[in-house]
């Protein structure tokens, strides 16, 4: 189904669209309000997303719902250990006449209008596949059949199962940095929501639920312009800008800024990461958060709200601490917020 391009929208119209987008996703995937909020921010900031969580918590359903609500062409590929880069670009087979045939693969099958490309279980794929994906995310383009393909509307969404990530191929630092956000998806803690997921048959049929979402709530062809409008609409004060730079300095050099964690050598903790690209992503995400909260100016709460999902995966720890990443990085971020003074 093709979604027509709409005229340039006002900030109020864009905010109304975003709220309806969130409500539509929440009607399909219950108990994931925080993840849905971050997904909405990523979509409006035009950033690629990596979802991480246990098996069966709704990651795939959430991504399918996002694709439906955007209304654009959607393609999906499964990460497997034998997947090669060419498998994303073309499919080779023997035709009925016995002759070899070649057709566009998942990445090219929908043409340059592709809006959502979903890479399921990305950690099962080889590093060669990650390299192709890296270019796709960085440039929104690829080369195949002796020509260049551009995907101006494309957002890449990937997921990996938390319980199996150590059994497959870890994403290289360069690839992780290309993901605008890394969003955790966990089973809800609320007993009522758990009961509904277990016993309410409405949530047992994902296809029907997703089919109820109106396509094009956030029209995919207009998202680039919507994103530009939001970034231009939200301003930042010098005090908030200084706060962001101070957070950046402190996460790169935690010992120098007085951060301390039990049993951790803060001088050796951080190996690298938190690039200028990452800080730029932080500011873009914070502006969208402020916009969704109805503000036209950044406040420190906007920065803190998006910091874990935007910056957490960009903090590269020393090998001795990497195995404890799931506990150290959240603790480091909490210490960061406690140590770096926010402007009044």
Domain boundary assignment for the chain: 11-227, 234-339
Q: Is the pLDDT of residue 174 over 70?
A: yes
Task: Check residue 234 and give its pLDDT.
Answer: 98
* Architecture category of domain 11-227 in CATH: 3-Layer(aba) Sandwich (3.40)
Q: Confirm whether 11-227 and 234-339 share one CATH topology.
A: no
pLDDT digit string, tens, across residues 220-233: 999 999 999 999 99
pLDDT digit string, tens, across residues 77-134: 988 888 888 888 988 877 788 888 888 888 898 888 999 999 988 888 888 888 888 8
**Which pTM value belongs to this model?**
0.92
* DSSP code, position 204: G
φ/ψ (deg, to 5) at 141: -155, 165
- How many CA atoms lie within 13 Å of 45's alpha carbon, on the beta-carbon side? 28
Instruction: Write the CB contacts of 195 (distance below 8 Å, at least 6 apart in sequence).
Output: none
CATH of domain 234-339: 1.10.8.80
pLDDT digit string, tens, across residues 66-91: 999 999 898 999 888 888 888 889 88
SS3 content of the chain, % helix, strand, coil (to 5): 55, 15, 30
Q: Which has the closest alpha carbon to 66: 217, 193, 221, 196?
A: 217
The mean pLDDT of 19-46, rounded to a whole number, is: 95
pLDDT digit string, tens, across residues 258-277: 999 999 999 999 998 688 99
Task: Check residue 166 and give its pLDDT.
Answer: 52
Q: Which of 122-131, 158-167, 278-287, 331-340 has the lowest mean pLDDT?
A: 158-167
């Amino acid at each position: 189904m093709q979604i027509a391009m709409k005229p340039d929208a006002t900030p109020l119209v864009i905010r109304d669209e975003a709220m309806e987008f969130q409500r539509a996703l929440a009607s399909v995937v219950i108990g994931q309000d925080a993840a849905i909020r971050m997904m909405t921010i990523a979509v409006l900031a035009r950033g690629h997303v990596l979802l991480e969580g246990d098996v069966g918590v709704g990651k795939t359903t959430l991504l399918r719902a996002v694709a439906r609500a955007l209304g654009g062409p959607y393609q999906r590929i499964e990460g497997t250990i034998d997947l090669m880069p060419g498998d994303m670009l073309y499919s080779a087979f023997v035709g009925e006449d016995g002759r070899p045939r070649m057709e566009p693969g998942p990445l090219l099958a929908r043409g340059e209008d592709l809006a959502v490309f979903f890479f399921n279980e990305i950690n099962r794929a080889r590093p060669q596949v990650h390299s192709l994906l890296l270019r796709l995310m960085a440039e929104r383009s690829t080369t195949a059949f002796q020509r260049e393909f551009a995907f101006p509307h494309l957002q890449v969404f990937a997921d990996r199962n938390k319980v199996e990530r150590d059994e497959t191929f870890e994403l290289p630092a360069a690839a992780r940095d290309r993901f605008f956000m890394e969003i955790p998806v966990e089973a809800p803690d609320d007993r009522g929501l758990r009961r509904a997921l277990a016993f309410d048959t409405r949530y047992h049929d994902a296809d029907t639920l997703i089919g109820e979402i109106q396509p094009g709530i956030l029209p995919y062809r207009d998202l680039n312009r919507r994103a530009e409008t939001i970034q231009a609409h939200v301003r930042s004060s010098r005090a908030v800008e200084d706060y962001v730079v101070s957070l950046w300095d402190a996460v790169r050099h935690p010992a120098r800024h007085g951060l301390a964690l039990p049993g951790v050598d803060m001088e050796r903790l951080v190996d690298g990461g938190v690039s200028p690209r990452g800080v730029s992503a932080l500011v873009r995400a914070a502006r969208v958060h402020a916009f969704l909260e109805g503000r036209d100016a950044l406040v420190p709460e906007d920065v803190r709200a998006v910091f874990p999902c935007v910056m957490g995966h960009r903090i590269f720890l020393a090998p001795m601490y990497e195995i404890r990443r799931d506990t150290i990085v959240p603790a480091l971020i909490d210490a960061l917020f406690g140590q770096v003074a926010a402007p009044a």
